[in-house]
Structure 1
Amino acid sequence: MLGFFKRDKNKIAKDGGDHSVDSMELLGEKTETTGKEVKTSLNIPPNANIGQEERYYYQFLNNELPLLKENQISLSGIEVHTEEDGRVLVKAFIRNSIAKGVHFQEPIPLSLLGPNEERLARQIFDLTILGELPPESSTPWLFVFEKKNVFEKEIPQTDWKLAFEVTKSKGPHALDLEESWEKSLADKDKEKLEQLVKTVQPPKPGEVNFMGLQSRLDDEGALHVTLLIRNGSEKNVKLEQLPLNVEDASGEIVAKGVFKLEALEIKANTSKPWTFIFPKELVLKEDADLSKWKAYVPQG
């Protein structure tokens, strides 16, 4: 995604600063380190619609970039432009100093920072569309901040930088068990849940969603539904009241109700299992086919 706004052809320099993070911190890429510094090679995306002159321009800028430490992902600002509609367009190099190709596995929050580290804009970008970043490479890319995500009317043309927003304390998405579950679950069942949380795709940043684990009708006609409540946010989430619908294999709603949870808390970046029991009077279909089912929060 290049060539979105024209550059001043009399100017061959980049205006933005640099921001680098360890690949393990950003992508979970654990690699060996030898202590060497890396000079990244220019990589133009295959679908970039640019001419030879533009290629020379990016090659010149890339040649002037500082060396990176091994195993880093870096953003190096090139230029910034504010559109009449309020959007802010930022060109930057995405640099990979790892000795192998890497992929972004999920959307990443980025901040545009001013001369005093003040946040000028913030937005989550889907960088999975980049595909593979080649080993030890610099890829020019255009980032479009929508007007609603821009916090200042005047964006400085120099002394700014594009930065990854990484919560350093954030580790892999993990299982969090309520104390009652911790005491009642067998070790083998805990291990199964932990393995599930490790292997499934974690929720997107800021997203809270539900994954069905188990459903059954008891002898009294009540429907028991166990869900994994998944919190992809950087903050703890408290659920006080939760409306739920359950559909069976036919797609019909077989139960619906509203549950008061007394501030059930799901910690940041964790998944917590919880069982919801629909009493018989809330079960709408006694012969439900639960070979396939889903539970969800109704809209509206």
Structure 2
Amino acid sequence: MQKLLFEDAWDRTISDGDRKWIQHVFENTKLPLDQVLFTSLRQAINHRGDLLVSVIVHNTKNTEIAPVQQHFSYVVDHKLIAEHTFSIPTIKSKTSMPWTFIFPKGSYKENEELLGGEIERK
């Protein structure tokens, strides 16, 4: 059975309201078996001009996923908005975890629609 787990820093700092909202999104997401999927939560630009894309990473596989450098894209309506290389944390088998991808300023197309996009692994 899939479980929701918050990384330590998230667990210490997340508000009760956000925790309940993420739990609600998790409980209402239909997950296929044996895949790594991303459910978009929100997007924002921080004070440094970085694009923040918060998601729930779902590992429905029977094995954990390890933090290897991988290329990720942020796509809105089939249009590439951002690309960058990240390491996500180790996520155990049958576990979902909220995570924020931080695309540095310059790695995304400014003045583009940022809402409603999807994270894709390359």
Compute the TM-score of the two structures, normalised by the length of structure 1: 0.38
1:235 aligned partner: 63
Q: Distance in 2 between matches of 1:232 and 1:200?
A: 12
Q: State the Cα distance separating 1:239 from its structure 2 match.
A: 2.5
Q: How many residues align?
A: 122
Q: 1:282 to 1:232 in 2, by over 3 A?
A: same
1:224 aligned partner: 52
1:260 corresponds, among 51, 69, 87, to 87
1:286 aligned partner: 110
Identity within the alignment, %: 25
- 1:268 corresponds to which letter in structure 2? S
- 1:229 corresponds to which letter in structure 2? V
Q: Secondary structure at the match of 1:280?
A: coil
Q: Give yes or no for contact 1:241–1:259 (8 Å, CA) kept in 2.
A: yes
Q: Give yes or no for contact 1:248–1:288 (8 Å, CA) kept in 2.
A: no
Q: Distance in 2 between matches of 1:287 and 1:281?
A: 12
The within-5 A match list for 1:1-300 is: 172-204=1-33, 206-249=34-77, 251-261=78-88, 264-283=89-108, 285-298=109-122
Q: Give yes or no for contact 1:175–1:193 (8 Å, CA) kept in 2.
A: no
RMSD between superposed Cα atoms in Å: 1.7
Q: Which stretches of structure 1, 4 residues or longer, exceed 4 Å deviation after superposition?
A: none
**1:223-255 residue CA offsets vs partner (Å, 9 max, x unmatched):** 111121101122322132121111224x32111
Q: Secondary structure at the match of 2:67?
A: strand
Structure number with bigger Rg: 1
**1:253-276 residue CA offsets vs partner (Å, 9 max, x unmatched):** 111011134xx1112211111111
Q: Distance in 2 between matches of 1:228 and 1:193?
A: 8
Q: Give yes or no for contact 2:40–2:116 (8 Å, CA) kept in 1.
A: no
Q: Secondary structure at the match of 1:210?
A: strand
Q: Distance in 2 between matches of 1:259 and 1:234?
A: 23
Q: State the Cα distance separating 1:219 from its structure 2 match.
A: 4.0
Q: Secondary structure at the match of 1:191?
A: helix
Compute the TM-score of the two structures, normalised by the length of structure 2: 0.88
Q: State the Cα distance separating 1:297 from its structure 2 match.
A: 1.2
Q: Distance in 2 between matches of 1:242 and 1:281?
A: 18
Specify every segment of 5 or more residues in structure 1 that has no aligned partner in the other structure, as ranges.
1-171
Q: Distance in 2 between matches of 1:252 and 1:183?
A: 35
Specify every segment of 5 or more residues in structure 2 that has no aligned partner in the other structure, as ranges.
none
